[in-house]
Every structure is written in structure tokens, then in C-alpha cells.
Structure 1
Amino acid sequence: MKTKILITGATGLIGQEIAKACLEKGYKIHYLTTSKVKISNEDNYKGFYWNPKEGEIDKSCFKNVSVIINLAGASISKRWTDSYKKEILESRTQALQLLKETIKVYGFKIQHIISASAIGIYPDSLINYYKEDYHEVSSSFLGQVVSQWESAVDEFSNLKIKVTKIRIGLVLSNKGGALLEIAKPIQFGFGAAFGSGKQWQSWIHIKDLAELFVFIKQHNIEGTYNAVAPNPVSNKELVKAVAKVLKKPLLLPNIPKSVMKLILGEMHELLFESHRVSSRKTENLGFNFKYHHLQKALRDLFPFKTNYIQK
């Protein structure tokens, strides 16, 4: 019997890529979704409804499942009102609580949970080089969210389930996410770095990220791992590299922090926090990043001078 993997957040940007990588390796996918219209009933890709906020879950999603890949959580790329900040946190912790309690009550035989986390747990710094054993947690909103998110994942070990946490950096994709938001103004001649431009951006190509999740499952690895490419860059380098691949000039001065705070509110932290994060522990597992350097990653995502950045 083929291994069945239950994925939460499978219909999102990262989830779709991970599901695709799992299917290519011959795994069967069960996935949970809060949208009934996104439920499929294919042999290898079957959807089930849940509503963590209301404590609802279709328990058949666990049938013959041995591994959970957890990606559930509200997007952080919306304005952080007080009510939305609550949703960002609770969408992560409530989802994990519901999974854990359902497994416990019904005795489902789950062996391993591999959960998304984020490098936002590390404090903002231009000089630190963060490894997984760094224990100080960022005092920022995202740092506190990630800390509570990871604590909720750790509770699965009480059910004798192996726990793996994947701290994800800036995900590069041409189908959505941060890269397209960076590329859009550049495409139209309005690109610029943020603040000093010196803040570190630890990034990862979405294909490498998906392959890392599959690698962790295949090798039954537990622990905490950074999902970042081996060569982080500054914000200025990132913006310049995108402009070069798109064959567009950068004409504007750097955008001041005060301006973005006015436009985005507290969410402006996403653009100005600096995280230089190590991939060494991940590489020491034997995982090989296909996209080590930013230029190679960008050339793969934008293979020729493009005009399709329209989202």
C-alpha cells in the first residue's frame, strides 16, 4: 500500500507545490480544506472538510494516514489589525489543537508530523548568523506567533509522534507570494530597496522547499531545520537581482521605513526585519539545494524577459 500523507494548507501556494512533489514520489494525498468547493475525490488526491475555529473535522481524513504535513495558517500578507493578528495566531494554534485532540481521542496511528514554521522566530539583526539552536525569540509580533506555533507542534510528541519543524524563509515563486510583489513595481519602473537595503533576506526557491518536506518524510527525520538557501542576500541585492533578470533599471531612491509604516501599519516589519539564517544543519542531512544562488533561482522563475507579472 502506498504511504498516505495528510496535508493541511494543501491548496495554498506552498501546499500545492508540496502536494505535487509528494504525488510525483508516488505518495497518496489526503488534504484538509476549509472550503468545500476545493474538495477533490481523486484516487491519489482526496479532500476533506474541516473548520478549526469551530472544532469541525472530517475524521475520515486520517484513514490509513501515517504522516501529517502541516501548513495551515492565515496569510501574514494582509494588514495587521488587532482582529486579524488574532486570526494569524489562532488559525495556526487551533488547527494543530484540533488535529492533536482528534488523533488522541480516536487513537489514529500517526507516526510523524512535519510542520511549517518561520525564520521570523529569530530576532531582527544585521550581524547575527542564526542557527537552529539559537534560543532567544524575537519580541516582534511574528516572533511571538512562531514561538506559540512551534509550542503547539511540540505537543504532538506527547502522543509519541515524531515532530519536525521547518523554519521557512522568504519563498520565491512566480505563482504568487513575496517575489511577485517585489517584481511588480520593478516591472513598471518603480522598483526600490527598503530602508537602508542592508537587511538580510534568507530566501528559498519553492521547488527546493517542497523537495525538503518530501526529503524529511522519506528519511523520517525529526527536529528543527531552517528552510533557506545557503546564500542569503541583502534587500538591496535582492531588488537589484530581480531588476537584472527582468532587464529593468532601478531609478528610485530607497523607500524610507516611515513611508511603509504609514502605508502598511505594523505589517511593514516584514520588509525591514533582517534575518541571516544558516542552512548548514539542513545540508548536513544530505539534502542538496538545487538553487544555491539567487541568480540561478530567479532565472528559473523568470526564464526570459517577461511581461506576465500582472497579479
Structure 2
Amino acid sequence: MKKNILISGGTGFVGRHLTKLLVANGFSVSILSRTKKENTETIFYYTWDVEKQTMEEEAVQKADYIIHLAGANIAGKPWTSKRKKEIVASREQAAKLLYVTLVKMNKQIEAFVTASAVGIYGAMNGRAICHEEMQPANDFLGLTCQKWEAAADTFEKVGIRTVKIRTGLVMGENDGFLKKLAPVFKFKLGAVLGSGKQYMPWIHIDDLCRIYIEAIQNPEMRGAYNAAVSDDTTNESFSRVLAKVYGYKLWLPNVPSFLIRLVLGEMSKLLLTGRRVSNAKIRTLGFEFRHTNLEATLKDCLAV
């Protein structure tokens, strides 16, 4: 029998890529979705409603592992008070529904793996290198990730091996944050944002999905792991390389920080702050990043 992986948020950017890789590695996949979709030989769809805290329990019953990716897009809408609550609740309540269903069915799984983000270290700039043992920040990004991870820790408390993947900016073909950036740079209108000194820890979608599979297959993985290339990319260096990929040098002046704040409000912190992160912890397990060169990665993702 194939091991079954239940994925929340399986129809999203990361979920779609991860599903393909899991199937290619001999797993069957169950996906939780708000709407019913047609099953295939290796992919099964189940409905759930996080707000109403209901789901098709068969999804949990057949699962050997759960990967929790579900959550409102943190950059999808302005950070109004209402939107902030939605961002946090979507992550907490989804994990709660999975946990309550597991307990109700007295179901034991082999591991619970949750998405998190390097934003747990806060909307910060500076040279400090963030590692997994650091204290989380108390700003919105930090607190959101803390609550996200705390919801996952409930699984650890009942004896389920729990892994938290703190993800950087995910780069993939025709999706992720490159989907919005690429057209601007393609038409030679790219520019550095603010000072350009803010760090941009990034990861190729393929490496990220391989980390999730490592989390399933490696019983030594437990706790938090940074998932990003440790190359100290800044917004300025990223912008210059992206322009180079499209065959030109940046010519426009930096976009002023005040203008970005004026347009995006508090959400501007996503663009104007960044942090250096260490990926040493996951590499000590023997995991090797296959995509570590920014220019080659951008060419691969943008098919240039």
C-alpha cells in the first residue's frame, strides 16, 4: 500500500508542485479543498470548511502524514485589522480542525509537517543572521508565525513528530512572487525598492518541495527548519540580477520607501524589510540545495 499524504492548501502554488513530486516518489495524495474535485488514481479530494470546523473525516482516516499549507495569502490584500485577523485565524483554525478530527477519530499519524515563514524573525533589517533557536519577534509577522507554529505544536504534545518549515521567498515558474515582478522587469521598468539593502532569503520551489519530502521520510527531523538559500541576497542585488536575466541594466531610480508605505501601508514591511537566515540546521541532516545560484534560478523559473 502506498503511504498517503494529506495536504491542506494542496491546490495552491506550493501544494500543486508538492503533489506532483509526492506522486512521482510513490506516494498517494489526499487534498483538502473547499469544493469537491474529481479523484484520480493517486490523488483524492476531500471537502472541508475551516470557518464551520467541518471536514470529510475519511481524509484524516486514510492519512499516514499531514502537510499543513493552508492559510490566507499574507500579501493578497492590505493589512486592515480585519485582514490581519483573517491571516492568523486561517492558519490557526485550519490546524485546529485537523487536530480535533485526529483526536476525535483516535487516529495516529507518523508526522505533522506545517508551513511557516522566516517572517517569524520579524520585519527587521540589519546584519544579524537568524537561526532557528532565536527568539521570535513581536511584530505582526513574528506573532503570526508564532501562532501558526503554536497550532502545530499541539500535535507534538500528543506524541506526533512535528516539523515546521520556515520558508523564504519561493521562486517557481509562472507563480509565486515572481509572477507579479517578472512583467515589470521584462518591460525594462524594474527598480530597487527603498534602500535596496533589505535581505531577500529565497528558495526554488523544487528545493522547498524536496524539504517537505525530507520531513516525511527523515525521522530525525523535528521542530523548526529554515528553508532558504543562505546567499545574503538583497533587494538591490536581486533586482540587478533579474534585470540582467532580461538583458539590461537597471536605469530607473530606486522607488522611494515613503511612496511604497503610502501605497501599501503596513504591508509595505514585506517589501522594505528583510532578514539574513541560516540554513545550516537542515544541511547538517545531509540535505543539499540544488538551486543556489540566483541568476540560474531566475532563468529556470522564468524560462529565459
Q: Which runs of 5+ in 2 are unaligned?
A: none
1:218 aligns with 2:233: no
Structure 1 residues 155 and 281 mapped into 2: Cα distance closer, same or farther (>3 Å)?
A: same
Match of 2:43 in 1: 45
* Residue range with higher mean Cα deviation, 249-258 or 196-205: 249-258
Offset, 1:130 = 0.7
Q: Distance in 2 between matches of 1:45 and 1:181?
A: 30
1:269-289 per-residue CA deviation (whole Å, 9 max, x = no partner) reads: 100112100011111111111
Offset, 1:299 = 2.0
AA partner of residue 50 (structure 1): W
AA partner of residue 131 (structure 1): H
AA partner of residue 55 (structure 1): Q
1:92 aligns with 2:91: yes
Offset, 1:200 = 0.7
- Does the Cα contact within 8 Å between 1:104 and 1:159 map onto a contact in 2? no
1:279 aligns with 2:279: yes
Q: Which runs of 5+ in 1 are unaligned?
A: 305-311
Offset, 1:167 = 0.1
Offset, 1:249 = 3.4
**Aligned pairs (5 A) from 1:127-166:** 127-135=127-135, 137-166=136-165
- Does the Cα contact within 8 Å between 1:245 and 1:302 map onto a contact in 2? no
Offset, 1:35 = 2.7
Question: What SS class does the counterpart of residue 39 from structure 2 fall into?
Answer: coil
Offset, 1:110 = 1.3
Match of 1:307 in 2: none
Offset, 1:140 = 2.3
AA partner of residue 176 (structure 1): D
Question: What SS class does the counterpart of residue 252 from structure 1 fall into?
Answer: coil
Q: Distance in 2 between matches of 1:79 and 1:153?
A: 26
Match of 1:247 in 2: 247
Q: Distance in 2 between matches of 1:209 and 1:60?
A: 28
- Does the Cα contact within 8 Å between 2:188 and 2:243 map onto a contact in 1? no
Offset, 1:125 = 2.8
Question: What SS class does the counterpart of residue 226 from structure 2 fall into?
Answer: strand
Question: What SS class does the counterpart of residue 225 from structure 2 fall into?
Answer: strand
- Does the Cα contact within 8 Å between 1:229 and 1:293 map onto a contact in 2? no
Offset, 1:86 = 1.0
Q: Distance in 2 between matches of 1:214 and 1:183?
A: 29
Question: What SS class does the counterpart of residue 31 from structure 2 fall into?
Answer: strand
Question: What SS class does the counterpart of residue 87 from structure 1 fall into?
Answer: helix
Q: Distance in 2 between matches of 1:20 and 1:232?
A: 30
* Residue range with higher mean Cα deviation, 78-87 or 109-118: 78-87
Identity over aligned pairs, percent: 36
Question: What SS class does the counterpart of residue 112 from structure 2 fall into?
Answer: strand
Match of 1:120 in 2: 119
Offset, 1:139 = 2.7
Please provide the CA RMSD for this pair.
1.2
Q: Distance in 2 between matches of 1:55 and 1:112?
A: 22
Q: Please, what TM-score do these two structures have when normalized by structure 2?
A: 0.96
Q: Distance in 2 between matches of 1:248 and 1:47?
A: 45
